Structure 1
């Protein structure tokens, strides 16, 4: 068996994605470009610890759409991965049962540690195709900023530990939906709410830094819808252009200006920003604040070791790519 065709589903707190790709010894080759639907599955989960009925209906509608796409392709395997919101929901069994009845596979609710490792795999596997003119230097930190959680993953230095191998990772229980619903309730958010959210985010980063060597990082790679959306805005894109964003190097000054501007906008103002998907309008401000704090804190930690970081790489490749690539490699190796 020289190649396998794998379908992967990444079901997060705010969005759900499907990708079908062929995996061989050279990597991943997309068969069906990723399909994204904003479903806000994590609506109210931070407060109520259960899925809302309307959120479940949005999720089921997307899963049925994916089932239709899958019916038109032969796939050797399908893996459905669910993350932060599903980990927290008391009624997750109802969700898992219904998805299984539609797709024939049961969602795997993976721990944050596995989510982090798969995001790192997906993001670093495509570094060779980056737009950046200078070769990204290890160690790499991949930041997967989701709706309910944010994963920080650090790889090796390229010497003692291969650059594409995970050295350590940590999943913070903060994300764009969680921070927006927990703190940024006014429209636009008040200065007090922003300060409270910042303190909450920094406390989680403090804990993360006891588990990962942030001071050793040389290159930051940002993945997820929040990061790529804010990158497009920092680049001045009038509408979202995934080809322009993928692999682009973004200076911190441009990123921080865009993050702060979007954070302080009203919902109506964000709705007029063409690069923001309508499904992210309510929560992108919370994600932008997390992104600013992560970049600031990682750069500060790296500076203690004489490492100067003033930019990051934006990537369209993350958890979903990692799900498909990992599954394909295991099938080719006879491990599944």
Structure 2
């Protein structure tokens, strides 16, 4: 139930690889979970990079997850639902079929948001929980998804608040897209890896024309790829949200783990319970994107001659948190 100074909202984030639901109360102090994040790996973006259409089996997986979410929502009345769809849906010619079916199942029309809005919401979610004194602004939030990766730089805390967006850019590279486009063999060949690196670096170079990567003093990495690779770098035998959230990892440690899992066969990756089964085949592609983002940002900061940037912070808070917080605030504003 809600009071005059709080609202209960549900946020749904439907990306290229997974769909997530979160139900929370939002007030002046922030977000208070009612139903913690639910995640289902649906691979909605299966072959979208090649066909520009949703595959029938991918839609079936998405609808099954939506029906499950509808059952949860029936038990937790909310003041409103915001359903956000991102990279794969932006690219799919048959997205109307998807949107119509989701409206029938959940009673809400998916909003296919542009990459710029996705970037801003990811930044809001990631920085909305920043409390640590050792996290120096400007923050660069990196949301590494299945189909796209957002780079969002905030203010310096002086001329612009640290939690305000200064610049953002959405790149059409991600774990699923890079795996399907380049890393076709199992394990991938060096030639395929080199082609993927060239593709990724070209996108980062383009992004750097908009986002001043050299100004970064703290990298905050969000999404399943980043948190999974962080858990592996920590040596966790099973995934633990509490242990991963807020963990600082050195670049050198990340590079070693990213490269090792990139070059593994899928069968070998599947023996690691830390990796969600739905990520086993694409986590290597995601790790390569993450590796190149860290390397490029590190080089850009070094070129400035300032304090060396040699580590990042992993966060469990990103786009979904931003959707919930932003929507809740907007509902509060009109009450």
- The residue number in structure 2 matching 1:57 is 60
- After TM superposition, the structure 1 = structure 2 runs for residues 32-43 of structure 1, keeping only pairs within 5 Å, are 32-43=35-46
The structural deviation recorded for 1:143 is 0.1
Say which SS state the counterpart of residue 75 (structure 2) adopts. Answer: coil
The structural deviation recorded for 1:303 is 1.2
Say which SS state the counterpart of residue 167 (structure 1) adopts. Answer: strand
Say which SS state the counterpart of residue 234 (structure 1) adopts. Answer: helix
Say which SS state the counterpart of residue 231 (structure 2) adopts. Answer: helix
Rounded Cα–Cα distance in structure 1 between residues aligned with 2:28 and 2:303: 40
- The residue number in structure 1 matching 2:188 is 189
TM-score, with normalisation over the residues of structure 2?
0.98
- After TM superposition, the structure 1 = structure 2 runs for residues 204-223 of structure 1, keeping only pairs within 5 Å, are 204-223=203-222
- The residue number in structure 1 matching 2:99 is 96
- The residue number in structure 1 matching 2:313 is 313
- The residue number in structure 2 matching 1:330 is 330
- The residue number in structure 2 matching 1:2 is 5
Say which SS state the counterpart of residue 46 (structure 2) adopts. Answer: coil
The structural deviation recorded for 1:274 is 1.5
Rounded Cα–Cα distance in structure 2 between residues aligned with 1:242 and 1:294: 23
Rounded Cα–Cα distance in structure 2 between residues aligned with 1:273 and 1:228: 14
Rounded Cα–Cα distance in structure 2 between residues aligned with 1:229 and 1:86: 24
- The residue number in structure 2 matching 1:27 is 30
1:114 to 113, 117, 140: 117
- After TM superposition, the structure 1 = structure 2 runs for residues 113-192 of structure 1, keeping only pairs within 5 Å, are 113-128=116-131, 135-192=134-191
Gaps of 5+ in 1: none
Say which SS state the counterpart of residue 210 (structure 1) adopts. Answer: coil
Rounded Cα–Cα distance in structure 1 between residues aligned with 2:110 and 2:296: 34
Coordinate RMSD, CA, aligned: 0.8
TM-score, with normalisation over the residues of structure 1?
0.98
Say which SS state the counterpart of residue 153 (structure 1) adopts. Answer: strand
Say which SS state the counterpart of residue 171 (structure 1) adopts. Answer: strand
The structural deviation recorded for 1:307 is 3.1
The structural deviation recorded for 1:20 is 0.1
Name the stretch that deviates more: 142-151 or 233-242.
Answer: 233-242
- The residue number in structure 1 matching 2:270 is 271
- After TM superposition, the structure 1 = structure 2 runs for residues 78-97 of structure 1, keeping only pairs within 5 Å, are 78-97=81-100
The structural deviation recorded for 1:185 is 0.5
- After TM superposition, the structure 1 = structure 2 runs for residues 292-303 of structure 1, keeping only pairs within 5 Å, are 292-303=291-302
Q: Is 1:238 aligned with 2:241? A: no
- The residue number in structure 2 matching 1:13 is 16
Say which SS state the counterpart of residue 127 (structure 1) adopts. Answer: coil
Rounded Cα–Cα distance in structure 1 between residues aligned with 2:249 and 2:30: 26
Q: Once the two structures are superposed, what CA deviation does each residue of 1:282-309 show, in whole Å capped at 9, x if it has no partner?
A: 1000000000000010011011221311
Rounded Cα–Cα distance in structure 2 between residues aligned with 1:248 and 1:221: 10
- The residue number in structure 1 matching 2:48 is 45
Rounded Cα–Cα distance in structure 2 between residues aligned with 1:18 and 1:274: 23
Rounded Cα–Cα distance in structure 2 between residues aligned with 1:333 and 1:105: 21
Runs of 4 or more, structure 1, over 6 Å off, are: none
The structural deviation recorded for 1:127 is 1.2
The structural deviation recorded for 1:183 is 0.3
Name the stretch that deviates more: 257-266 or 304-313.
Answer: 304-313
Rounded Cα–Cα distance in structure 1 between residues aligned with 2:108 and 2:272: 38
The structural deviation recorded for 1:155 is 0.1
